[in-house]
């Protein structure tokens, strides 16, 4: 399940979609701490293989997206 959820997050981000933390957690029955761990895994991957991209967050709403730096 972990790998599948990380891949779902990555696929959405690389596809240009925005991900709501609250909606993703509710939809997949995970807690926010797990969501943050999964995003950290994606961030580590991006640093190693796509360093021109970062995961960014829009304000306090908890909406995450991929940003080219």
- State the Cα torsion 17-23-53-5 to the nearest 10°: -100
What 8-state DSSP symbol labels residue 1? -
* pLDDT for 59: 81
**pTM (2 decimals)?**
0.92
Task: Please enumerate in sequence order all residues whose Cβ is within 8 A of that of 57, keeping only pairs 6 or more positions apart, or say none.
Answer: 63, 64, 65
Q: Tell me the per-residue pLDDT of 14-34, one tens digit each, with 9 for 90 and over.
A: 999 999 999 999 999 999 999
Tell me the sheet residues that pair with 65: 56
Cβ count near 33 (within 10 Å): 9
Residue-level pLDDT at 60: 82
- Of 45, 61, 11, the C-alpha closest to 53 is 45
């Amino acid at each position: 399940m972990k790998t599948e959820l990380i891949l779902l997050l990555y696929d959405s981000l690389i596809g240009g979609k925005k991900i709501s933390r609250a909606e993703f957690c509710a939809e997949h029955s995970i807690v926010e701490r797990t969501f943050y761990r999964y995003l950290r895994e994606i961030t580590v991957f991006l640093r190693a293989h796509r360093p021109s991209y970062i995961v960014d967050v829009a304000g306090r709403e908890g909406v995450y997206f991929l940003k080219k730096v």
